[in-house]
Structure 1
Amino acid sequence: MKNTIIKFGFYGFLLSIVLFLSGLYFGKGMDFSTQEVVGYLTMVVSLVFVFFGIKHFRDNENKGQLSLSKGLLIGLLISAFTASGIALADYIYTTAINPDFFNEYIAMMREQGHTEEIPDWGSGFMAFVMFATVLIIGFIISLISALILQRKN
């Protein structure tokens, strides 16, 4: 089980970093709403390895059997790798590549008429929010994958 989690988690980690940074690079001219959609697509696509990791464990390591709880655990652990990749890429982007991102985002929000105070939480907190968001989406994908792939002999 450990090897499956590390293998497919690493794939998710790498894919999430590549897709996240590619989306930022190619999406420079896009507005923040479009970039947000691209960001969520990046999260979901990066989590595809959850399904394949659970399936690999069932078929190759567990003699064709899979309980819901075991599938959910494997999926969540793979999701944690993917979430770490996106959080790391987000942190690098907001600290090294574009440290003015939050100021630009707040300015855009004010232009759209948001007058309430928008807190500036910093790159570390926002990376944690990205990690938590991907982990929540990963939980949903893990649950669906485990339900589809569960098999008891």
Structure 2
Amino acid sequence: MRKNILVYGFIGGLIPAAWAVVVEAMLSNSLSLNTRMVLGYTSMIIAFSLIFVAVKNYRDNYNNGIITFGNTLKIGLLITLIASTIYVIVWMVDYSYFIPDFGEKYQAQVLAELKASGASAAVIKKQGAEMAVMMEKYKSSPAFRVMFTYLEIVPVGIVVSLIAALILKNKSKPATVVSTMN
């Protein structure tokens, strides 16, 4: 089970981490925030779909076709922890060394999209002030940045783990096929 969790957790972490690096490096100026968000969460769902593969592989190949809700959930949550940690580590390195001005760019894009949507000057000013405070904390506190990044990805993994546990649990031994040919 350990190898299963490590392999699928590692692969699951690389998928959204690679996507985040590609988007920030190459596409951040050409995609809207909503598009980036949808594509980012899509990459997380794709990554966490490996939980289904890992559980089914463990259940069918190593556990005689039997697995409980609790064991399925445990596998899913451990894969979520590993994948999320890889995502956070990659983001912290990417942010620190390659895009230290992420907060300013993000804030500018949010405010530009607000303005383009026809928001009032008061709303834009208020949003800008709130974001400036948050971005300063994000920039100055690595612990806040780590927590914030985990909050992006972990909920997706938890939801997928619960769904997998509900779908893939199997407490009974699969029926064996008996040959009637003599």
| TM-score, structure 1 normalization | 0.88
Question: Tell me, which stretches of 5 or more residues in structure 2 are unaligned?
Answer: 115-123, 173-182
Residues 1:14 and 1:143: Cα distance change in structure 2 (over 3 Å): same
Partner of 2:177: none
Residues 1:23 and 1:103: Cα distance change in structure 2 (over 3 Å): closer
Partner of 1:11: 11
Is the 8 Å Cα contact of residues 48 and 157 (structure 2) preserved in structure 1?
Answer: yes
- Distance in 1 between the 2:92 and 2:152 partners? 14
Is the 8 Å Cα contact of residues 64 and 151 (structure 1) preserved in structure 2?
Answer: yes
Task: Report Cα offsets for 1:57-112 as digits up to 9, x if no partner.
Answer: 11111111010011001000001111112212221222111111101222333442
- Distance in 1 between the 2:130 and 2:151 partners? 23
Per the alignment, in what secondary structure is the counterpart of residue 117 of structure 1?
A: helix
Is the 8 Å Cα contact of residues 66 and 151 (structure 1) preserved in structure 2?
Answer: yes
- Distance in 2 between the 1:133 and 1:115 partners? 21
Partner of 1:100: 101
Cα RMSD (Å): 1.8
Partner of 2:120: none
Give the drift of 1:138: 0.6
1:117 equivalenced with 2:133 (yes/no)? no
Residues 1:103 and 1:23: Cα distance change in structure 2 (over 3 Å): closer
Per the alignment, in what secondary structure is the counterpart of residue 130 of structure 2?
A: coil
Is the 8 Å Cα contact of residues 83 and 132 (structure 1) preserved in structure 2?
Answer: no
1:147 to 166, 170, 173: 166
Which residue identity is paired with 2:94? Y
- Distance in 2 between the 1:22 and 1:109 partners? 20
- Distance in 2 between the 1:30 and 1:115 partners? 20
Which residue identity is paired with 1:20? A
Question: Tell me, which stretches of 5 or more residues in structure 1 are unaligned?
Answer: none
- Distance in 1 between the 2:147 and 2:75 partners? 21
| TM-score, structure 2 normalization | 0.75
Give the drift of 1:127: 3.3
- Distance in 2 between the 1:27 and 1:42 partners? 15
Partner of 2:23: 23
